[in-house]
Amino acid sequence: MTGLKEEIERVDIKLLIQYGVDEAEYGAALAVFEKFKENCIAVTLLRTYYSDLPEGCEEMAVDLKVVAKKQGTFLMNLQSTNHHYLYLCSEEEAVFLGEFKDGIDDETILNHFGFASIKDFWQQTDKNPEYLPSLSPPTQDKELTTCVACGVEVGEPHIFGCPVEQCPWCEAHLSRCNCRFDQLGVSDITDEELLDDFEEMLELKGRIVFEAGQNPSYPTAGDDPGPATTPNDQ
């Protein structure tokens, strides 16, 4: 069913492209979609763009560029024929933020992606989206570069509460060790305020970012060594 749903969604986007651009651009616009169609972020972004063309401009999407990304969310630049647009994207949703040249006023979005201010945003992007990296298609080794539990990529901090995250104090799994109780000086965490306090402690200590080797491995057939023996079993 999932394959059928994905195919229907792709057909929908093709129809949106057909009605959203001039007939002369349809082939080129479709080629851009074919280039990115295996990337969930790209599919969501293109569907949103062609469903509601900014300012009513019937321009094809030329390229999709990554401005910043963190914990499964992307700040994207969609380059059309004559414009550069900013979108906030996840695999499920894309939100139009405006034109790139106007920047971002929302401090929450800026801070989420590590920009201290709009000035910092301009400095890090050189005010020129042309040189931003294009969105890459997913690799066959995605399971090696993405946390299986919270979806962040290599080099990113886990989403708070992820069972794969390692404790920076003892390097065991953060959700299983006792460091959270020791650091807070409590025997139980009973409210959101304590969780917020512990998250701040984590940030101050320095969280261990996701690495490919952190993903749990599971035994395959033939790997089970059987029950351990003891001297009494001999």
Contacts of range 54-58, beta carbons closer than 8 Å, 24 or more positions apart: 54/83, 54/85, 54/96, 54/99, 57/82, 57/83, 58/20, 58/21, 58/22
Rounded CA separation 174/86 (Å): 36
CA distances from 2 to 6, 37, 197 (A): 6, 15, 41
Question: Taking a C-beta distance cutoff of 8 angstroms, is the pair 125, 67 a contact?
Answer: yes
Record the tokens describing residue 144, joined without a space: 């090696």
* Predicted confidence band of residue 139 (pLDDT cuts 50, 70, 90): low
How many residues are given for the chain?
A: 234
DSSP string, 195-217: HHHHHHHHHHH-PPPP-GGGS--
Whole-number pLDDT of residue 2: 47
Residue 32: is its pLDDT beyond 70?
yes
Whole-number pLDDT of residue 143: 53
Whole-number pLDDT of residue 149: 80
**Mean pLDDT across 34-55:** 90
Whole-number pLDDT of residue 12: 85
Whole-number pLDDT of residue 70: 84
Q: What is the pLDDT of residues 166-177, one digit of tens each?
A: 999 999 999 889
* Predicted confidence band of residue 155 (pLDDT cuts 50, 70, 90): confident
Q: What is the pLDDT of residues 179-227, one digit of tens each?
A: 999 999 998 888 889 999 999 999 999 999 998 788 876 444 444 444 4
**CA 25 to chain centroid:** 30
* Predicted confidence band of residue 30 (pLDDT cuts 50, 70, 90): very high
* Higher-confidence position of 26 and 5: 26
Residue 11: is its pLDDT beyond 90?
no
Q: What is the pLDDT of residues 49-66, one digit of tens each?
A: 999 999 878 899 999 999
Other CB atoms within a 10 A radius of the CB of residue 173 amount to 15
The pTM is what?
Answer: 0.66
Whole-number pLDDT of residue 228: 41
* Predicted confidence band of residue 76 (pLDDT cuts 50, 70, 90): very high
Rounded CA separation 214/145 (Å): 10
Rounded CA separation 210/158 (Å): 6
Record the tokens describing residue 110, joined without a space: 């800026």
**Mean pLDDT across 143-150:** 75
